A = this chain, B = another copy of it.
């Protein structure tokens, strides 16, 4: 994968000079307006294996959506019976290919949302055919159920997902947390944030065998297709002298067994498939809110799926490019260790910070270039003039 440095990104030059001292979301009006998320994207919802013909309700971008499986396909309808406003996800499947509202048995075709019976009004009910609920495009992929929320024709799902997940075999395991507190933007910003990991996560058990730098010179680079932003560390420091204060971070006894985390996490133990991706940085982010972390032997993804103003669905997804025995070994590693220490404790501390954050106003510092660059990506993707040139949809044939 080739990349172009931030400096060469034309979009930057076009930007108006930013008002001095203004350090909050008002600099990015499209971003500020995206409280409920970015429309016209595919979002992951539930594990495909957990969805049967008992409907499930989820909230996406402020919309209540009912999911159901019919045969080998999954379907999504607006989760509100138009009769009296009861949730269809509280109902059940009475006839094949339909879902019935629990209140009066209004029965909707799951494929298109059309009302096909209003049971207590008999077979000749005049309302049949005259009412329908909105249906949403769905896909089943990567073990997840995906829903497209937007007003445009859906882009092919694959175009909005990391390419490597379609070009290599792998085993995946993960954790889905609905109703995680905090606006989705705080969650993305926290995920891609350069600075916090060095401090917030430093002493966590998951870092026991890694010697984390204290700080780094970092630049943000975009992938050539514009889909991803990478944090690229040009240099890292492991212990520094802070004038008047002392040394930080201080070396600990446990560090004798630690392996230094080098820029880009490149080392001889690097997984060959991950190596072949040629990622310029350890951490990357893309629209509509997907973080990728390249560990030495596996990739970790996390989606921050907007639910409402103050909550998001948090989808953690770990990928090991192995099959057969390697598959079994990774599953064992995931369920004994990664799920607990990384998908639980480690990212739990991020959840704590997202809950605590009380911004704007904010006062950014040098490492926050990761945050502002991400904001700018969202901002320009949704500028009116670029409407016809959606990054991922347009570039992949």
Contacts and interface: CB of A to CB of B under 8 A. Distances in A.
A99 to B, nearest CB: 12
Given A84-B359, A103-B353, A200-B104, A214 B365 contact: no
Interface string A87-120: 1001000110010101111110000000011111
B123 A243 contact: yes
Contacts of A356: 85-87, 90, 102-103
Contacts of A95: 242, 245-246, 248
A84 B352 CA distance: 13
Nearest to A200: B103
A168 B19 CA distance: 60
A396 interface: no
A341 B98 CA distance: 30
A323 interface: no
B245 A98 contact: yes
B365 A196 contact: no
Interface string A191-221: 0001111111000000000000011000000
Interface string A103-147: 111110000000011111111011100010000000000000000
B215 A117 contact: no
A5 interface: no
A204 to B, nearest CB: 12
B90 A245 contact: no
B82 A353 contact: no
Nearest to A246: B95
Contact of A365 (B83, B194, B357, B363): B83
A366 interface: yes
A229 B100 CA distance: 29
Contact of A245 (B107, B121, B241, B361): B107
Number of copies: 3
B244 A116 contact: yes
A235 to B, nearest CB: 10
Given A103-B199, A199-B105, A245-B117, A357 B85 contact: yes
Contacts of A87: 356
Contacts of A367: 104, 120-121
Contacts of A357: 84-86, 103
Contacts of A122: 214-215, 237, 240
A199 B119 contact: yes
A121 B370 CA distance: 13
Contacts of A125: 365-366
A249 B243 CA distance: 73
A85 B119 contact: no
A123 B86 contact: no
Interface string A160-199: 0000000000000000000000000000000000111111
Contact of A102 (B83, B131, B200): B200
A152 to B, nearest CB: 25
A244 B245 CA distance: 78
A364 interface: yes
Given A120-B214, A123-B240, 8 more contacts: A103-B353, A103-B357, A104-B195, A104-B199, A104-B367, A105-B199, A119-B215, A120-B198
14 contacts: A85-B356, A85-B358, A86-B358, A95-B245, A98-B245, A100-B199, A104-B196, A104-B200, A105-B199, A117-B248, A119-B242, A120-B195, A120-B214, A125-B365
